[in-house]
Chain A
Amino acid sequence: MAFINVKRKEVQVKIVYYGPGRGGKTTNLEYIYNKFNDRIQTEMVAIKTHGDRTLFFDFMPFDMGQIKGYDVKIQLYTVPGQVKYDATRRLVLRGVDGIVFVADSLAVRREKNIHSLKNLQDNLATYSKSIHKIPLVMQYNKRDLSKQGIPVLSQDTLEKDLNSRLKAPSFLASALEGKNVAATMKKIIVMVMVSLQKELQ
Chain B
Amino acid sequence: MSYTFDHKQLDALEEVLQQGLIDLGVHCVVLIDMSGNIIVNLDNGRMKHDVYSLAALAAGNFGAVSTMAKIIGEDEFSLLFHKGKKENIHFSKVMKDFLLVTIFGKDVSLGFLRLKVTEAVEEIKKILQSQQ
Contact = CB atoms under 8 A, between A and B. Distances in A.
Interface stretch (A3-11, A105-113, A174-182): A3-11
Contacts of B6: 6
B3 A3 contact: yes
B105 interface: no
A1 B53 contact: no
Interface in B24-52: 33-39, 50, 52
B76 to A, nearest CB: 15
A6 B35 CA distance: 18
B4 interface: yes
A95 B2 CA distance: 9
A7 B3 contact: no
B56 interface: yes
A43 interface: yes
Given A77-B56, A92-B60, A3 B4 contact: yes
B32 to A, nearest CB: 9
Interface residues on B, range: 20 to 34
Contacts of B35: 1, 3, 14, 94-96
B11 A3 contact: no
Interface in A62-92: 73, 75, 77, 87-88, 91-92
Contacts of B59: 94
Interface residues on A, range: 20 to 34
B5 A2 contact: no
A7 B9 CA distance: 10
B63 A4 contact: no
Interface string A1-39: 111111110011010000000000000000000000000
B4 A5 contact: yes
Interface stretch (A53-61, A115-123, A144-152, A160-168): A53-61
A134 B10 CA distance: 28
A199 B39 CA distance: 20
19 contacts: A1-B35, A3-B39, A4-B3, A6-B5, A6-B6, A14-B36, A43-B53, A45-B56, A56-B64, A59-B53, A59-B56, A61-B52, A73-B52, A75-B36, A91-B67, A92-B60, A95-B36, A96-B35, A200-B2
Interface of B: 1-7, 10-11, 33-39, 50, 52-53, 56-57, 59-60, 63-64, 67
Given A6-B10, A12-B37, 18 more contacts: A1-B1, A1-B2, A1-B3, A1-B37, A2-B3, A3-B3, A4-B2, A6-B7, A14-B37, A57-B60, A59-B56, A73-B52, A75-B52, A91-B60, A94-B59, A94-B63, A95-B36, A196-B2
